[in-house]
Structure 1
Amino acid sequence: MTQTSDRIRAIIAEQAMLDADQVTDNATPAELGIDSLGLVESIFALEEEFDITIPFNANEPDKSDFDISNMGSIIAGVEKLVAAKE
C-alpha cells in the first residue's frame, strides 16, 4: 500500500466510523455503512486532503466519470488524480 492509499483509507474509515484496516479494496460504500450523504462527505474530505477535484456528481452518480463501486476503485481513482496533479 502506498502512503496515499493509507491516507485515503483513513479518511474513508473516519467517515464510516471504522478502523482503517476494515476499509478493504472489495468493500462497497454500502457495506461500510456509508450512505449517499456520507459518500459526498468522503469525496469532499478527499478533495480537501489532496487538493484535487473528483469528477463525481452526487445527483447523478451513475453518470460520473468516477467509479465508486468499491474502495479499490475509489482509491485508484484518487491516486490517479493525485498523480496527474503532480
Structure 2
Amino acid sequence: MTENVRDKVVEIIAEQAVLDVEDVKMDSTLEDLGIDSLGLVESIFAIEEAFDIQVPFNANEPEQSDFDISSVAAIVTAVKGLVTEQKGG
C-alpha cells in the first residue's frame, strides 16, 4: 500500500503540473512544479477521490492546515497518515 500511495500521489501531482511522472521529485515543492493555488485545490480533490479520504485543508490559508504541502514527500506522508487514520490501513 505504501508504494501505491506514493505512486498515486505523484501521478496526481504530475497530472496537475502537466509533467511526466519521472519529473516529479520527492523533494520538489508544488511551486517548483508550477502548481498554483487552483492546481493545489484540484490536486487535493483528486487525492480525496483517489483514496476516499477527507483532507483537512483550508485552501485560503494552507499554512493553517495540518496537511503539510511543503513538498511532494510531505504530501505523500500526510496522505499515508490519513489513509491509515481514516481507512484503517
TM interval, shorter chain, is over 0.9
Percent sequence identity is 56
Residue 38 of structure 1 aligns with which residue? 39
The 2-side partners of 1:54 and 1:28 are apart by 18
Residue 60 of structure 2 aligns with which residue? 59
1:60-85 per-residue CA deviation (whole Å, 9 max, x = no partner) reads 11111111011000011001111221
- Give the TM-score taking structure 2 as reference length: 0.91
Instruction: State the Cα distance separating 1:49 from its structure 2 match.
Output: 0.6
The 2-side partners of 1:38 and 1:76 are apart by 19
Tell me how large the CA RMSD over aligned residues is.
1.1
Instruction: State the Cα distance separating 1:38 from its structure 2 match.
Output: 0.3
In the alignment, residue 43 of structure 1 is paired with which amino acid? I
Number of matched pairs: 86
SS of alignment partner, residue 73 of structure 2: helix
- Give the TM-score taking structure 1 as reference length: 0.94
Runs of 4+ in 1 over 4 A off after TM superposition: none
Q: Which runs of 5+ in 2 are unaligned?
A: none
